[in-house]
Amino acid sequence: MRRPRAVLFDWDNTLIESWEIIHESLRQTFLDLGREPWSFDQTKAWVRRSMRDSFPDLFGADAVRAEHLFYRHYRADRLRRLTPLAGASATLAALHRDGLPLGVVSSKKGDLVREEAAQIGWSGYFGRIVGAGDGPLDKPAPEAVTLALEGAGIGAGPDVWYVGDTGIDVTCARNAGCTAVIVSADTPRDGDCLRVPDHQVVDHVGLHGFLRAHGIAI
């Protein structure tokens, strides 16, 4: 793998820990709609695509109401519970010091990701933070990656790393022709399909070693 010219990140569970609040918000949404809530493992297996793409399949005619309910629960408590993953701040700081353009491509609503980045104090690291609803198509469409790179003077390609934690992040990188780097101990899958990244590490400590191997001081 070549040294990157730019690095894009997924947000949830790549840079911040959010599985618990996502699961609780989804559980409350199921209950509000009179449905049997999912287990935590079911939530982790399902949550990949944006709500614009996934909720119609899950909730049918109730999709719009379900989205409203989910975000009502999510917004109520998210900033208090917002927790960066161990080592994520050091990752971003090192890449920023190196002068690499950074961005975010998330399946979460863009305004929420930008609010969360500001709350943590990370806004200054990113040229563009792109989330669901910010463009005509959401992640994993390549248009989301193109939007995140706007202003950086760099087009999507193998010298752009997309760093995520699930199979849909590999799919997003592949769709845009970028290099897929996964930070997770889990096997990346997109639905039932195995997705093999270009490189995988267990956590940000492992990612730090990978960055050093590509000449980035950390």
In a domain, 1, yes or no: no
Q: Spell out the residues 6+ positions from residue 79 whose beta carbon is closer than 8 angstroms to its own.
A: 115, 116, 119
- In this structure, the answer to whether residues 71 and 89 fall within a common structural domain is no
pLDDT of residue 162: 98
In a domain, 194, yes or no: yes
Residue type, 106: S
At residue 124 the predicted structure's pLDDT band, cuts being 50, 70 and 90, is very high
pLDDT of residue 48: 65
State which of 77, 101, 127 marks the end of a domain: 77
- In this structure, the answer to whether residues 54 and 162 fall within a common structural domain is no
Does pLDDT of 190 surpass 80? Answer: no
Q: What is the CA radius of gyration of the chain?
A: 17
pLDDT of residue 30: 83
- In this structure, the answer to whether residues 101 and 144 fall within a common structural domain is yes
pLDDT of residue 180: 97
The stretch 162-176 carries a mean pLDDT of 95
pLDDT of residue 59: 80
Residue type, 199: H
Higher pLDDT, 103 or 22: 103
Whole-angstrom distance, CA of residue 167 vs CA of residue 164: 8
Domain of 118?
A: 6-17+83-213
At residue 189 the predicted structure's pLDDT band, cuts being 50, 70 and 90, is confident
When divided into structural domains, the chain yields a total of 2
pTM for this one? Answer: 0.83
Give the tens place of pLDDT for each residue, 85-122.
Answer: 999 999 999 999 999 999 999 998 899 899 999 989 99
The neighbour count for residue 123, using CB atoms within 10 Å, is 13
Give the tens place of pLDDT for each residue, 134-158.
Answer: 999 999 999 999 999 998 989 999 9
State which of 58, 77, 96 marks the end of a domain: 77
pLDDT of residue 49: 66
In a domain, 218, yes or no: no
Q: Which runs of E-coded beta strand occur in the chain?
A: 6-9, 16-17, 83-84, 102-109, 128-132, 160-164, 179-183, 189-190, 193-194, 199-201
Bridging pattern class, strands 189-190 and 193-194: antiparallel
Give the tens place of pLDDT for each residue, 30-86.
Answer: 888 888 888 878 777 776 666 666 787 778 888 888 888 878 877 777 666 788 999
The helix-helix angle for 63-77 and 110-120 (nearest 10°) equals 10
pLDDT of residue 133: 92
The stretch 15-44 carries a mean pLDDT of 82
Beta bridge partners of 83: 17
